[in-house]
Amino acid sequence: MRQLTLWFIVISCICAGCGLAGAASTAPLRLVQVIPMPSGFMHFDHFGVDAKGGRLFATFEDHNSVEVFDLKSGKHTKSIAGFEVPHNVLYLPDRNELVVTDGAGTFNILRGDTLETLHTVKLARNADFVAYDPRTQFFYVTNGGHAADMTFAFVSIIDTTGKHVGDIRIEGAHIEFLTAEKAGSRLFLNVADKHKVAVIDRNNRSVVALWPLPDAEDNLPLTVDEPHNRLFTVSRKPAELFVLDARSGKVITSLPCVGNSDDMAYDPKTQRVYVSGGDGFVSVFQQQDADHYTVRGNVATGPGGNTSVFVPELNRLYVGVRRGKTGSELQIFDVVP
């Protein structure tokens, strides 16, 4: 805890000097628990959540497994082996199924209770982000690109029986994140090597627009605020949050944020945006209205806190901190009103 406190002081000073520090005196997040990871569990990649069942799933590339934690206590409860490079995990409560993407080139559907594998679908290497459309019961899975030694990538379409029904070709070698509209038929995807956001129509299975980000590179995290027709994405060069009009792709505003970010979330209840980054803190932004945003605060995690997930049912943010040989950890934060 002393180390985290020191990091908070250091990061706060740095942020103040860069114009990043929030004006509010009360931090928007309160650290309530730190769970050290066992030796060999260093690289958190992404999280998945079973809110009703009280489970948090975390992929560990360096341990070739998906680890299961109790959402409330943070206690480790189970390990799911059999993967090579597990990237993303998504729990489907209506189907009681868990899906796991493997960078070795597979998409896996597991039973939600026993966690046994039901279907395995072979894709190109670098299978990563996944979105699910409950209306059509199709999964959309990113794969290919530079990590597969390809100059282009795919968003592959898979049904719930494990049938690979089609591919949407993406003209880009580095694609990141995949966010689906609930009310509409579009998917949003970051094409990081082109510094653009791709808009995909799920009905005709094609890219219908490419929205450029001005003077920015390495746009990775992506999420959407449908009620306000806003799309949020974060670049690494420079470290900046972009707010786009989700209808036209116009950049509404941008603000400096934590560097080396791998995850972000939008909470429609509090209208806050959370961005976690490896540079050592979580940037929290307050949405005043659809066009105006302020820095609510920057909360220290220490270096390596790239991975995170927000759980609205518990009003908590979970951050996976990659400490390397010094020991990684799971940090649990309560949201402060």
pLDDT in tens, the chain (337 residues): 333 333 433 333 333 333 344 334 589 999 999 999 988 888 999 999 999 999 999 999 989 999 999 999 999 999 999 999 999 999 999 999 999 999 999 999 999 999 999 999 999 999 999 999 999 999 999 999 999 999 999 999 999 999 999 999 999 999 999 999 999 999 999 999 999 999 999 999 999 999 999 999 999 999 999 999 999 999 999 999 999 999 999 999 999 999 999 999 999 999 999 999 999 999 999 999 999 999 999 999 999 999 999 999 999 999 999 987 777 999 999 999 9
Strand partners, 139: 132, 158
d(CA 60, CA 67): 7
Contact predicate 245/229, CB 8 Å:
yes
193 DSSP 8-state letter: G
Which residues have CB under 8 Å from 159's CB, separation 6+?
137, 138, 139, 165
Closest CA to 336 of 243, 280, 288, 274: 274
d(CA 51, CA 287): 25
112 DSSP 8-state letter: T
d(CA 277, CA 259): 5
d(CA 39, CA 16): 35
Please state whether beta strands 76-80 and 65-70 pair in parallel, antiparallel, or not at all (unpaired): antiparallel
> What is 91-188's CATH number, 1.10.3470, 2.40.170, 2.30.29, 2.40.128?
2.40.128
Q: Which amino acid is at 43?
A: H
Q: How many CB atoms lie within 10 A of CB 81?
A: 9
Q: What angle do CA 242, 244, 245 make, to 5 degrees?
A: 165
d(CA 285, CA 264): 11
pTM, to two decimals:
0.91
Q: Which long-range contacts (CB under 8 A, 24 or more apart) does 62-66 make?
A: 66/100
Q: Tokens 């450029």 map to which residue?
A: 212
14 DSSP 8-state letter: H
Comma-separated ranges of CATH 2.40.128 domains in the chain: 91-188
What is the widest separation between alpha-carbon atoms in the chain? Answer: 55
CA dist list (Å): 63 to 37, 43, 180: 12, 8, 30
Alpha helices for 44-141 (secondary structure H):
none
